[in-house]
Amino acid sequence: MPLHTAGQTQIYTFPDTAALSQGLDKYVARLSEEGIKRHGKFAIALSGGSLPKQLSAILKDNPSVDFSKWIVYFADERCVPLDHEDSNYLLAKKELFDFVNIPEENIHTINPELIHNPEEAAEDYISQLAATFATKDSVRFPVFDLILLGVGPDGHTCSLFPGHELLQETVDWCAAITDSPKPPPRRITFTFPVVNHAHHVAFVAAGEGKQDMLHRILDTHGDLPAQLVKPVTGTLSWFVDDAAAAKITSTTHKGLERL
């Protein structure tokens, strides 16, 4: 049974971050199994921030997940070496990749040789996406099984910031940004066309500091980056702890009972 149908947003709440990780484990394990059954692999994109830790806490020890079939991209990445403390890859490696058997060639990082030229790094990432999603004789639009997103206190997601011209991007799958208000300033990021074509998109947000922004994103209409995440045919879910959910007035579900 699908969790919900396209067009709806489901908000799952959890008493604390430990429970949230439990919910994420269940959700991701199920989608991974579905993806592998459907097309022999599971294409997932990760974000930075608190997400890798929250995601991996329980999932990394889940024996039912066939990580050997995972194909991993980053919804956004900072233009820094892969062993730099700001690297989203390094964070995900420390939290997840070091514990599970995702084949190295299935983990798609920013090309470390191009980090001094964000435009070229974004172009290169587009080529990687094209190669992953191509069929035998044609280039196909990237359709991820799951894209996991975080949200900033200003409503940004990926490295798509409020009022930035990249919010209008309709052609390029991945773009460079050199003036990110959240440091470091130089990054590459998926654009909305890719985010909104995923089968499933899920936001993960925790902590009191997210209360006001979550209320704004989920209970009002607007054009904050997180509000522009509207999967065309896919599903949209939110995984939030009670602290972050305190001011949400839209319908929420207790994640531990629903998932």
Out of 23, 118, 150, 234, the only residue in the binding site for ligand 6PG (CB under 6 A) is 150
76 binds ligand 6PG (CB under 6 A): yes
Output the 3-class SS for 63-120.
Answer: CCCCHHHEEEEECEEECCCCCCCCCHHHHHHHHCHHHCCCCHHHECCCCHHHCCCHHH
Q: Are 47 and 88 in contact (CB under 8 A)?
A: yes
CA 177 vs. chain centroid, Å, equals: 18
* Among positions 53, 182, 215, 216, the unique one binding ligand 6PG when judged by CB under 6 A: 182
**Residue 41 binds ligand 6PG (CB under 6 A):** no
Binding mask 44-73 for ligand 6PG (x = CB under 6 A): ---xxxxx----------------------
Q: Tell me the closest approach of the beta carbon of residue 206 to ligand 6PG, in angstroms.
A: 8
Q: State yes or no: residue 88 binds ligand 6PG (CB under 6 A).
A: yes
Cis bond upstream, residue 184 (ω within 30): yes
DSSP lists the bridge partners of residue 254 as 13
Shortest distance, CB of residue 159 to ligand 6PG, whole angstroms? 6
- How far, in Å, CA of 143 to CA of 237, rounded? 17
Q: Is 25 in the site for ligand 6PG (CB under 6 A)?
A: no
**131, 88, 130, 91: which is closest to 110 by C-alpha?**
88
Please list every residue from 152 through 181 that binds ligand 6PG, using CB under 6 A: 152, 156-158
- Measured from the CB atom, the residue of 48 and 255 that comes closer to ligand 6PG is 48
Residue 21 makes contact with ligand 6PG by CB under 6 A: no
Strand order in the sheet with 253-254: 70-74, 42-46, 146-149, 200-205, 235-241, 9-14, 253-254
Taking the complex as a whole, the smallest distance from the CB of residue 210 to ligand 6PG amounts, in Å, to 7
Q: Which is nearer to ligand 6PG, 25 or 69 (CB)?
A: 25
Q: How far is the CB of 102 from ligand 6PG (least distance, A)?
A: 19
Give, rounded to a whole angstrom, the gap between the first and last alpha carbons of the chain: 11
Tokens coding 87 = 């690297």
- Contact between 226 and ligand 6PG (CB under 6 A)? no
The residue within the footprint of ligand 6PG, chosen from 122, 151, 177, 214 (CB under 6 A), is 151
Alpha-carbon span 135 to 133, nearest angstrom: 7
Would you count residue 231 as binding ligand 6PG (CB under 6 A)? no
Residue 69 or 192 with smaller CB distance to ligand 6PG: 192
Distance in angstroms (rounded) separating the CA atoms of residues 41 and 37? 8
The reply on whether position 225 binds ligand 6PG by CB under 6 A is no
Q: For residue 23, count CB atoms less than 10 angstroms from its CB and return exposed for 0-12, middle for 13-18, buried for 19 or more.
A: buried
Task: Report the interface residues with ligand 6PG, using CB under 6 A.
Answer: 47-51, 76, 88, 150-152, 156-158, 182
